[in-house]
């Protein structure tokens, strides 16, 4: 059976297993609008808002539904969002006086989202796909009696989450906190990652995972992956991120949970998934395989999943099933109507929002269209675009720069060719790059580059102009002075032959022998 015929059979099975969800409009998350009231010292509140880059906690009383927590604290949270007029906040509760079994609340302002719903819908999609993820609740926020606006309360990934999710409380939680969490040996572990639990045991298990990813041959990856992750679950996570167009993950904004007990497996969970449901170029961008910023490199776990044939087929299976069963216009039509009615007044009264009320209505009404057109674009891309592939390291040889990359194919059998792009700028701009096109091999030897640092990528182009770019964009290589001028080693290499760095590189001509 053709692999992609097999995909459709498996996708049909996946669809049948989930079809019950289509009989009624049944969101996975709570469709309620709460009201949270915080009372604190006004001067302290003014201070933290005027010093947003500092993680300063201030004491407060938190009230919800007539219940009060008098020993709470809160601060400003986030990264770039700290500079917005409407701040996001984190509320901490005493371990002996938790808020509904939660130690922390993350109150997200959704300042850049006119719909206020992208992050909510992304978590909803994760849950509907049967994946572990934070729960969320919409909430009006009042501080000292003043309405601060509509917020999204996002559940913290911590020990409380482990218990609520049915995971062992002694599991280890790692947060991919800042840019550079690529699961590569080059990761500055203690600078970019945060270890949230089991601090006394160090980083050994994360380092072991990274070491395995760095050394496992690609042809063994699928079989050995089963000892580290649930392959189907991981494939579904990658598929979900691809469908919703999550462009802010895999280099940061995700969690890894390591269950040391029964199965010993790792689990990946999403975080800060607000950069979603934004599509361009007839809903083909972002590409379903690209969920990261091009200039930050690729997460080796995700790259290997796309490069390995068996894992790629499993991701395609999951993506087909999600589009057929869950990412549907009818669901998002009902969801848009419900959210519009639920949130309208809270948005209307939000004086710190960045967009107009009319813009909110337009954005909320767009989600059914997004689902319909993005779903169709995903199916087209899985069929008509070349499968994801990656680059090998560029090698400087006496004859020129040797470029090579993975082979790929177009599932529907369409012919295609490769296009190599080289530039001295990492963005590879059109006005400063060399393009070598119409290539049908997976390598190129090129000798027309002067000394300097270069960047390159490869695209696979079909006759319909469908383009699949390589996974890795962060692919710099240096060309030294006289890089293509080599010292020729004549005759025979023997025990008296001396090779020095000063005379390198060396050229080994045909007929050269090595003494026994």
Per-residue pLDDT of the chain (516 residues; tens, 9 = 90+): 444 444 444 444 454 444 444 445 788 888 999 999 999 999 999 999 999 999 999 999 999 999 999 999 999 998 888 999 999 999 999 999 999 999 999 999 999 999 999 999 999 999 999 999 999 999 999 999 999 999 999 999 999 999 899 899 899 999 999 999 999 999 999 999 999 999 999 999 999 999 999 999 999 999 999 999 999 999 999 999 999 999 999 999 999 999 998 789 999 999 999 999 998 888 888 888 886 666 677 899 999 999 999 999 999 999 999 999 999 999 999 999 999 999 999 999 999 999 999 999 999 999 999 999 999 999 999 999 999 999 999 999 888 999 999 999 999 999 999 999 999 998 899 999 999 999 999 999 999 999 999 999 999 999 888 899 999 876 889 998 877 777 777 778 888 888 887 777 777 777 777 877
Backbone angles phi, psi at 357, to 5 degrees: -65, -35
* 287: nearest Cα among 250, 234, 245: 245
**Cα separation values, 281 from 223, 278, 492, Å:** 37, 11, 59
Rounded (5°) CA angle 55-248-299? 110
CA distances from 181 to 126, 256, 297, 374 (A): 22, 11, 10, 28
**Could you report the per-residue pLDDT of 213-236, keeping only the tens digit for each?**
999 999 999 999 999 999 999 999
Burial 477-491 (b: 16+ CB within 10 A, else e): bebeeebbebeeeee
How confident is the model at residue 295, as a pLDDT?
A: 64
What DSSP element (H or E) covers 419? strand 416-423
Q: Is 469 helix (H, G, I), strand (E, B) or coil?
A: strand
Q: Is 213 exposed, middle or buried (0-12, 13-18, 19+ CB in 10 A)?
A: buried
Check whether the bond before 165 is cis (ω within 30° of 0).
no
For residue 109, what are the contacts with CB-CB under 8 A and spacing of at least 6? 81, 84, 86, 87, 88, 149, 151, 352
CA–CA separation, 289 vs 315, rounded Å? Answer: 10
Predicted pLDDT of residue 293: 66
- pLDDT of 292 reads 66
Length of the chain: 516
Cα gap 233→245, rounded to integer Å? 18
End-to-end CA distance of the chain: 52
Whether 60 contacts 74, CB under 8 Å: yes
pTM: 0.89
CB atoms within 10 A of CB 515: 9
Q: Taking CA 369 as the corner, what is the angle to CA 365 and CA 374, rounded to the nearest 5 degrees?
A: 140
Residue 432 · residue 424 · CB < 8 Å: yes
Burial class for 194, CB neighbours closer than 10 Å (0-12, 13-18, 19+): middle
Helix (H) or strand (E) holding 377: helix 357-384
Element (H, E) at 335: helix 329-348
- Rounded to whole angstroms, the Cα distance separating 396 from 451 reads 11
Vertex 288, ends 421 and 376: CA angle to 5°? 120
DSSP state of 308: S
CB within 8 Å of 15: residues ≥ 6 apart: 321, 324, 325
Domain ranges of the chain: 1-25+172-384, 31-108+133-166, 395-479, 486-516
Angle ∠(394,400,401) on CA atoms, nearest 5: 10
Residue 496, judged by CB atoms within 10 A of its CB (0-12, 13-18, 19+), counts as exposed
Pick the CATH number of 395-479 from 2.60.40.10, 2.60.120.560, 3.30.300.30, 2.40.30.10: 2.60.40.10
Look at residues 102, 121, 123, 104 and name the one whose alpha carbon lies nearest to residue 113. 121
283-337 pLDDT per residue, tens? 888 888 886 666 677 899 999 999 999 999 999 999 999 999 999 999 999 999 9
């Amino acid at each position: 059976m053709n692999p992609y015929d097999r995909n459709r059979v498996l996708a049909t099975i996946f669809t049948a297993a989930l079809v019950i969800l289509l009989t009624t409009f049944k969101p996975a998350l709570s469709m309620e609008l709460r009201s949270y009231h915080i009372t604190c010292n006004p001067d302290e509140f003014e201070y933290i808002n005027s010093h947003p880059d500092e993680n300063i906690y201030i004491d407060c009383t938190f009230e919800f539904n007539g219940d009060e927590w008098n020993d709470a604290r809160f601060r400003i949270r986030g990264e770039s969002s700290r500079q917005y007029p409407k701040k996001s906040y984190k509320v901490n509760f005493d371990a002996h006086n938790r808020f509904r079994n939660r130690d922390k609340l993350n109150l997200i302002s959704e300042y850049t989202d006119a719909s206020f719903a992208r992050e909510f819908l992304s978590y909803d999609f994760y849950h509907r796909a049967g994946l572990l993820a934070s729960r969320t609740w919409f909430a009006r926020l009042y501080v000292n009696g003043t309405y601060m606006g509509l917020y999204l309360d996002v559940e913290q990934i911590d020990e409380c989450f482990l218990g609520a999710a049915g995971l062992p409380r002694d599991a280890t939680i790692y947060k991919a906190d800042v840019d550079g969490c690529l699961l590569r040996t080059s990761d500055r572990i203690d600078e970019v990652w945060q270890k949230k639990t089991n601090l006394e045991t160090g980083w050994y298990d994360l380092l072991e995972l990274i070491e395995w990813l760095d050394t496992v041959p690609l042809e063994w990856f699928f079989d050995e992956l089963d000892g580290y992750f649930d392959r189907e679950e991981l494939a579904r996570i990658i598929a979900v991120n691809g469908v919703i167009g999550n462009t802010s993950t895999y280099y940061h904004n995700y969690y890894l949970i390591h269950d040391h007990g029964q199965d010993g497996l790792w689990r990946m969970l999403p975080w800060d998934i607000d950069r979603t449901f934004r599509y361009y170029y007839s809903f083909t961008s972002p590409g379903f395989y690209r969920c990261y910023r091009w200039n930050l490199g690729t997460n080796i776990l995700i790259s290997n999943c796309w490069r390995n044939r068996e894992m790629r087929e499993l991701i395609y299976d999951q993506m087909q099933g999600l589009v057929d069963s869950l990412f549907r216009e009818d669901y998002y039509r009902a969801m848009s109507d419900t959210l519009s009615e639920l949130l309208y007044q809270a948005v209307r009264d939000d004086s710190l929002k960045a967009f107009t009320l009319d813009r909110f209505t337009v954005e909320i009404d767009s989600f059914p269209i997004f689902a319909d057109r993005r779903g169709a674009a995903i199916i087209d891309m899985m069929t008509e675009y070349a499968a994801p592939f990656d680059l090998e390291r560029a090698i400087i040889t006496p004859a020129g720069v040797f470029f090579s990359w993975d082979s790929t194919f177009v599932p529907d059998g369409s012919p295609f060719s490769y296009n190599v792009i080289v530039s001295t700028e990492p963005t590879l701009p059109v006005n400063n790059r060399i393009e070598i096109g119409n290539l049908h091999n997976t390598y190129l030897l090129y000798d027309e580059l002067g000394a300097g640092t270069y960047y390159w990528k490869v695209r696979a182009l079909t006759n319909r102009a469908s383009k699949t770019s390589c996974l890795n964009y962060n692919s710099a290589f240096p060309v030294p002075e006289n890089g293509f001028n080599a010292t020729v080693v004549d005759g025979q290499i023997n025990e008296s032959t001396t090779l020095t760095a000063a005379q390198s590189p060396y050229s080994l001509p045909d007929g050269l022998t090595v003494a026994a």
